[in-house]
Structure 1
Amino acid sequence: MRSARREFLQVVGAAGLVSLGGSVPRFWSQALAQQDGTSAGERVLVLIQLAGGNDGLNTVVPITDDAYYRARPALAIGKQAVLKLNDRWGLHPSLEGLHQLWEQGRLGIVQGVGYPRPDRSHFRSMDIWHTANPDVVQPQTGWIGRTLDAAQGTEGREAVAVGLDRLPLALVGHRVVCPLVKSLEAFRLNEPAGGSPLRTADWQRAVQAPAPPRGELEFLRRSAQASLASADRLKSLGETYRTRVEYPSTGLAQRLKLVAQMIVAELPARVYFVSLDGFDTHAQQLPGHAALLAELAGAVASFVADLEEHRLTGRVLIATFSEFGRRLAENGSLGTDHGAAAPLFVVTPHRGGLFGEAPSLTDLDDGDPKFTTDFRRVYATLLENWLNVDSSAALGGRFEPLDCV
């Protein structure tokens, strides 16, 4: 048996077929081996993390609030420069793609989102957002992971992280294993270094050979079979997917394009997670923040256009989040420092507008606008009103959903 195991690993290990770390997500082992997805027609949630702490005040600009302009003599976005939402609010001028969605009645803005006793540490605050627990000490699972744990055994209830180096805490569960896909190219089967390349037929023979039931070798064979099927299915995405939309060449746009490919292919995932880094704007904020917001808006606009082309906009909701906002006052380096509450975006098929109460810019908490909307209410909205799943397992209690979905 040891010899058979060693020979098997030499074949499939060289091909990269047992690189899933000893566990096979149902996403791979059941669905990718099939020709048809198991989630056809089901709703999908796409989460976009704005890592670093997005400056909400320069994103959704309070154009009639003198306190904003007094606190930011160098950084405030001018009243004439914004993309107007109404008489009180405007979007940063780089957010043209999102403004178009606003005018179509599809962009929701949830104001003043945060949590009690805000923490200005990136790591601590990110843990709080990913776990949906402001009191978390040693985080082990995330809010999406716990949702999947509760739904284990229900087909089509999976989550995928796209374009990241490691699985985000939000997707970590006790019983489920969510896949991480950096790119279609990265998931191709590897040919061994040196010597003659192994043919796919060799891999197929290796993984289909009989093995004692329930033994280690049988588990490895099943793992390899799932990986081979996964690689074949993901490879086919790039060969069969077509779109007339010209995505920007930015990293976020290309990640969302991959998400679109997976949704079009009806892969059995209800949640996709992507990230855009760089929002920690302590110095020289204006040019860098403008570029990041332009990347966000361009990527989202292209993604939505792609979904429209494939008649999928009614099934997909997009939500952004960031670990915290920035302080009201600008600093001495033409930037802003870690803050607390901030707005977030929700792109829906048919419901836009401003939701929640905007924080006061004169009644502050140690220089920060106070949160007015608990972030767990946003999560409850996404889970219950969009994905139609119970939120109590993920959130550790009941939180009233918002009416933005």
Structure 2
Amino acid sequence: MDRRKFLTLTGTFTGGSLLLPDFLYSFGSQTTTNLVTGEQCVVFVQLNGGNDGLNTFIPFEDALYYEMRPKIALSKTEVISATRGMAFHPALTGFATMQQSGDLSVIQNVGYPEPVRSHFRSQEIWQTAPTNQEYLSDGWLGRYLDLQCKDHQPTAGVNLDSIDNLALKGEEPNSITVKNPNQFKTKSKVENDGKLSDNPQLDFVRKIASSVVEGSDDIQKALSKSATSDVVYPKTGLAKNLEWISKLIKGNLNSKVYYTSLGGFDTHDNQLAIHKNKLSELNDAVFSFYQDLKKSQQLQNVTIVVFSEFGRRVKDNGRGTDHGTAAPMFVIGGNNRGKTIGSNPNLADLDRGDLKHEIDFRSVYASLLQNKLAFDSTKIGIKNKALEGLF
């Protein structure tokens, strides 16, 4: 069996628990070596569907914004936390508070050359970080973990979702996908004869079996050690995922990368209502997470990155917006400088009706790897210079 297909079968815990065939339990556990980059970790929140950046962080002083979006523009009286001609959507009160506290940076006009407007392919480009849009089977974070972990470490990366994330896929099973950590429990008794077989695929199965058990044990230990929080999270899927991540961080799981996502941003129709609801869900979940980390004095060690696979077209379609290109990214915590990086969107200089990207997303990745994870991004094929001024 192909090892990647096997990873999909055994490395994903979409039901929150996993029953393994008995024969897997005869294979030995392997000693793992913790990562050595300190207490820092990065949490990614991926907004699936193509979030409308122009209606998220709004150029409210630009007359062209209102001219090109007569049906969906946010009025000057609605937007909040205005600065340098930009302001937040009124649903993003928590984002505004984090910005005013110096804990949130906005990176303007993020994208990549020759942008793709397909959801699947653009997400794949963001998740694999290729040099020239070549197709890669490993994710950029998976490649990082392959090099950073001396031996496979099951929970070096944790994906809180119901499906695997390509960004975390590497040659070794150094990440794990879990829907409900509290219910993710496996048999912990594993016998180890310390021997490899003559069959590489069988040895890979053994490694996966060990990874499953070790990952389950590590997660349960972290949850048992996590301090109780007085922050009340909203009852939404994203909020629950971020609450789990907070518990794992406070329980010293020592994962370097956490990943989760929120869908529903493909706003071709009825955008004003749909986008307000999605941004409210995002805001309330992320702000609760932020407050939890701040109260537990973990915020300086945790960097939260919010992004989408592309923005929307500048001109509305009468009901909403169609697939576009560049959009803002948001970075919270991790002792970021709390600045707006890059120029305001230039609505007078478009590429076939779309924003021109100013900052390559791979330069943001390079900055995260360099400044937060003490890692040289060129080792995983990211040639872009690290974005300056973020940390």
Please classify the TM superposition score into its range, dividing by the shorter chain length: 0.7 to 0.9
CA separation of 1:331/1:20 partners in 2, compared to 1, >3 Å: closer, same or farther?
farther
Rounded Cα–Cα distance in structure 2 between residues aligned with 1:277 and 1:20: 38
2:321 corresponds, among 294, 319, 336, to 336
Look up the match of 2:307.
Answer: 321
Rounded Cα–Cα distance in structure 2 between residues aligned with 1:158 and 1:108: 28
Look up the match of 2:12.
Answer: none
Deviations 1:144-201 (A, max 9, x none): 1122223231898964343323321111123454211111244123xxxxxxxxxx7x
CA separation of 1:20/1:306 partners in 2, compared to 1, >3 Å: closer, same or farther?
farther
Look up the match of 2:77.
Answer: 80
Rounded Cα–Cα distance in structure 2 between residues aligned with 1:40 and 1:116: 32
CA separation of 1:231/1:74 partners in 2, compared to 1, >3 Å: closer, same or farther?
same
CA separation of 1:212/1:105 partners in 2, compared to 1, >3 Å: closer, same or farther?
closer
Query: What is the Cα deviation at residue 358 of structure 1?
Result: 2.5
| Pair 1:99 & 2:105 matched | no
Query: What is the Cα deviation at residue 226 of structure 1?
Result: 5.3
Range with bigger deviation, 129-138 or 100-109: 129-138
Query: What is the Cα deviation at residue 239 of structure 1?
Result: 4.3
Is 1:148–1:176's contact at 8 Å kept on the other side of the alignment? no
Amino acid at match of 2:390: C
Q: Secondary structure at the residue paired with 1:112?
A: strand
Look up the match of 1:197.
Answer: none
| Pair 1:397 & 2:353 matched | no
CA separation of 1:218/1:105 partners in 2, compared to 1, >3 Å: closer, same or farther?
closer
Amino acid at match of 1:381: S
Rounded Cα–Cα distance in structure 2 between residues aligned with 1:272 and 1:167: 12
Query: What is the Cα deviation at residue 395 of structure 1?
Result: 3.8
Rounded Cα–Cα distance in structure 2 between residues aligned with 1:253 and 1:295: 8
Is 2:111–2:358's contact at 8 Å kept on the other side of the alignment? yes
2:165 corresponds, among 156, 165, 168, to 168
Look up the match of 2:230.
Answer: 244
Range with bigger deviation, 156-165 or 113-122: 156-165
Look up the match of 1:133.
Answer: 130
| Pair 1:380 & 2:383 matched | no
Is 2:153–2:175's contact at 8 Å kept on the other side of the alignment? no
Q: Secondary structure at the residue paired with 2:369?
A: helix
Look up the match of 1:360.
Answer: 346
Bigger Rg, structure 1 or 2:
1
1:56 corresponds, among 53, 57, 60, to 53
Rounded Cα–Cα distance in structure 1 between residues aligned with 2:265 and 2:381: 26
1:345 corresponds, among 330, 334, 339, to 330
Rounded Cα–Cα distance in structure 2 between residues aligned with 1:183 and 1:380: 31
Rounded Cα–Cα distance in structure 2 between residues aligned with 1:284 and 1:363: 27
Structure 1 unaligned residues grouped into runs of 5+: 1-13, 190-199
CA separation of 1:220/1:147 partners in 2, compared to 1, >3 Å: closer, same or farther?
closer
After TM superposition, the score normalised by the length of structure 2 is 0.85
Range with bigger deviation, 384-393 or 52-61: 384-393
Rounded Cα–Cα distance in structure 2 between residues aligned with 1:19 and 1:320: 41
2:292 corresponds, among 289, 306, 312, to 306
RMSD across aligned C-alpha pairs, in angstroms? Answer: 3.0
Q: Secondary structure at the residue paired with 2:248?
A: helix
Is 1:128–1:134's contact at 8 Å kept on the other side of the alignment? no
Query: What is the Cα deviation at residue 141 of structure 1?
Result: 1.2
Range with bigger deviation, 105-114 or 358-367: 358-367
Amino acid at match of 1:213: K
Is 1:41–1:315's contact at 8 Å kept on the other side of the alignment? no
Deviations 1:297-341 (A, max 9, x none): 111111111112221111011111111000001103x11000001
Rounded Cα–Cα distance in structure 1 between residues aligned with 2:151 and 2:297: 26
Query: What is the Cα deviation at residue 225 of structure 1?
Result: 5.7
Rounded Cα–Cα distance in structure 2 between residues aligned with 1:156 and 1:188: 17
Rounded Cα–Cα distance in structure 2 between residues aligned with 1:15 and 1:278: 29
Query: What is the Cα deviation at residue 212 of structure 1?
Result: 7.7
Deviations 1:201-247 (A, max 9, x none): xx73xx33x75833489987776565445434433444443111101
Rounded Cα–Cα distance in structure 2 between residues aligned with 1:218 and 1:132: 30
Query: What is the Cα deviation at residue 368 of structure 1?
Result: 0.4
Amino acid at match of 1:339: G
User: How many pairs were matched up?
Assistant: 368
